[in-house]
Amino acid sequence: MKGIMIHYTMDTLPISALFIAFIALVVLFLIGSMIISEEPTIEVQGVKITSLTRSTMNFDVKIEIINPYPLGATVTELAYTITAQRNDEPLLLATGTTEGMGEIKIAGSSTTDITIPAQVNNSEIVTAGLHLLTDGDMEIVVSGAAKVDLWVLQPSVPFSKQFTITKEEVIYEVLGGNEIISGLLTTGANIASKYLF
């Protein structure tokens, strides 16, 4: 008994087979696009001190996440470190992650902006930071890395950027933009820091 051979053409292929083939082509195309595309990038857009007391200092760190891939992505975790320069040595101000913010969704071929709140809960570090400000501008470095889930790839994306924070900016932000009081307090910032901190 001879075997029976069935030859399929595009007209006779089952619908399910055509659908699977289509999905496979789409997946291969997306994977190929990811392989030849650039990796996601993270840029620190800015950092500012939003409030301070004798024992705490609060920051807002603005982050820009650029996803060049056509598929959406998820930042599963972002860890950061904020340091200031003191006598040519780094002064650790704060470390943390975005764990409390949950997963960060990023659309395909787009840029997503997020703001990460950070806090210093150490009176000695706050005092040291304020002394840096009274001596002049404070040089701050924000660095870290983010784990990005791209479905088929999961790269760790590093970032680092240095900023200059002036005491005028700090006083202006803390006082909610009162320029007159800000100017007066800036003039006496060195004296005030000695007695208040």
Is-contact 118 82, C-beta < 8 A?
A: yes
Domains of the chain, earliest start first:
38-196 (2.60.40.10)
Write the single-letter amino acid at 190: N
Residue 179 CA, distance from chain mean position: 30
pTM tops 0.85, yes or no: no
132-183 tens-digit pLDDT: 777 777 888 999 999 998 877 788 999 999 988 887 777 776 655 555 444 5
Task: Give phi and psi for 18, each to the nearest 5.
Answer: -65, -40
How far apart CA 197 and CA 191 sit, in angstroms, is 10
Rounded to the nearest angstrom, the gap between the alpha carbon of residue 30 and the centroid of all alpha carbons in its chain is 26
pLDDT of residue 175: 59
pLDDT, one tens digit per residue, over 6-60 is: 454 555 546 666 667 667 666 655 555 555 457 889 999 998 888 878 788 888 9
Q: Give the 3-state DSSP-derived string for 16-84, with helices as H, strands as E and coil as C.
A: HHHHHHHHHHHHHHHHHHHHHCCCCEEEEEEEEEEEECCCCEEEEEEEEEEECCCCCEEEEEEEEEEEE
Quote the pLDDT of residue 14: 62
Mind listing the pLDDT tens digit for each residue in 111-140? 999 999 998 888 888 887 777 777 777 888
- Classify strands 156-165 and 104-106 as parallel, antiparallel or unpaired: unpaired
Rounded distance, CA 161 to CA 47, Å? 10
